[in-house]
Amino acid sequence: MEREDVWELGGRTLTSRLFLGTGKLGDESCLPAVCAAAGAEVITVALRRVDLQAPDQGVLAHIPDGMILLPNTSGARTADEAVRLARLARAMGCGHWVKIEIIRDARYLLPDNEATVRATEILAREGFVVLPYMSPDLYAARSLVDAGAAAVMPLGAPIGSNRGLATRELIAILLEEISAVPIIVDAGLGRPSHAAEAMEMGAAACLVNTAIATAEDPVAMARAFALGVAGGRLAYLAGMPAVRQQASASSPLTGFLEGL
């Protein structure tokens, strides 16, 4: 009786709602097991210079075949740098998806929404599937949609902070107001319950990196997040009973109707 809960992104049909980040893993060889445990279909990577002294195969060698690669533009401080990184990523020949990430602040790693809108506009025109990482702001989200973003990815809390949905109220506004594209909560989700909460609120998916990568057992944590995401999603679909406003008037508020 359970219908398959699929969704569309960038012209692809997805069944998983957990995107996986690949940073901060001590040992990338565990990635196949982590991907399997997460049930992930989309996985992020970053671009860096080849180390001429100690060249390696890079992370690709550990990513299972068939996954959708989502290169990010980490390191970019301006729209132009993000565009350049996106083009380099596409030249790798692994698809045309890109997560725009433009950061000009070293302490909180907060994205620059304005520059992100500009980069989104350019890259969407060039045919990229653009997933912009952003601070949850309604107007910025609308501008990103107008600029051609395939989804918007508001942050739950600063990258790597594991603080959960610190921006809950602002994300709730995006979920309420932005219906043209999926909303994927990215960054800050430190526990499966954080991801479940985002999914209960109606997010289309979550992107998790640090919390899984830095767990003592990344494979088990990937599974835990997958369950959190699935549970939250199921609850959202089930139509959660509303929190009842306590109606405890000592005399009925509509009692005046009796005497009419």
50 binds other proteins (CB under 8 A): yes
Strand ranges across the sheet with 129-134: 97-100, 129-134, 153-154
Mask 78-107, x = binds other proteins (CB under 8 A)? ------x--xxx-xxxx-------------
Q: Which of residues 214-243 bind other proteins (CB under 8 A)?
A: 239, 241-243
Given the residues 99, 118, 194, 223, the one annotated as active site: 99
Rank residues 45 and 124 by Cβ distance to other proteins and give the closer one. Answer: 45
Nearest distance in Å: CB 24, other proteins: 7
Largest CA distance in the chain: 90
Q: Which residue in 4, 49, 66, 107 binds other proteins (CB under 8 A)?
A: 49
Residue 106 to residue 85: CA distance in whole angstroms:
19
| The pair of three-digit structure tokens given for residue 57, joined into one six-digit string | 């195969």
Does 74 bind other proteins (CB under 8 A)? Our answer is yes
Q: Is 99 a catalytic residue?
A: yes
The correct pick among 3, 4, 55, 139 for binding other proteins (CB under 8 A) is 55
Beta carbon nearer to other proteins, 66 or 254: 254
If one asks whether residue 244 binds other proteins (CB under 8 A), the answer comes out as yes
CA-nearest of 128, 72, 66 to 100 is: 72
Q: Does the footprint of other proteins cover residue 28 (CB under 8 A)?
A: yes
46 part of the interface to other proteins, by CB under 8 A: yes
Separation between Cα atoms, residue 212 and residue 222, nearest integer Å: 6
Complete DSSP assignment for 135-199: ---HHHHHHHHHHT-S-BEEBSSSTT-----TTHHHHHHHHHH--SS-BEEES---SHHHHHHHH
Q: How far apart are CB 174 and other proteins at their closest, in Å? A: 13
Token pair in block for residue 120: 């989104």
What is the sign, positive or negative, of the torsion defined by CA atoms of 188, 192, 194, 197? positive
Continuous segment of H or E residues that includes residue 97: strand 97-100
Contacting range for other proteins; rule: CB under 8 A; set: 22-30, 115-123, 134-142, 224-232: 22-30
| DSSP for residue 256 | G
Residues identified as active-site:
99
Where along the sequence are the contacts to other proteins (CB under 8 A)? 21-25, 28, 44-50, 52, 55-60, 69, 71-72, 74, 84, 87-89, 91-94, 159, 176, 187, 207, 209-210, 213, 239, 241-249, 252-257, 259-260
